[in-house]
Amino acid sequence: MGVERDRSRQRDETLPWRKWIKTARWQKLRWFVLVRDLFTCQKCKRIETDTSQLVADHKTPHRGDERLFWDDENLQCLCKPCHDVVKQAEEQASVHQRGVWY
């Protein structure tokens, strides 16, 4: 548990954009996306009533680009399983192609 907390703290310090997720602006944008997409995962099409199990996911990874981060057209509603498994696998594949993570 402490290891994950330390990793999260380190990412917060090295990736300034992570602070944006903790803002009221992000919470408002996230809610807008969930409502717009009717609480429906855009990958598996499951409707999820527990909003803690939904993610406002960036279609195109922003990698710190504010324009992409805040663009509601670049966001989609995903359920946590699709985000945590499918989307993360896609991003990891991208890292291997580029050879870097940024």
Q: Which range, of 2-11, 73-82, 90-99, averages the lowest pLDDT?
A: 90-99
- Count other C-beta atoms under 10 Å from residue 82's C-beta: 21
State the Cα–Cα distance between residues 99 and 102, nearest whole angstrom.
10
The model's pTM: 0.75
Residues 50-93 have pLDDT tens digits of 999 999 999 998 888 999 999 999 999 999 999 998 767 776 76
Measuring CA to CA, which residue among 59, 62, 53 is closest to residue 87? 59
Name 79's bridge partners.
Answer: 54
Q: How many CB atoms lie within 10 A of CB 46?
A: 14
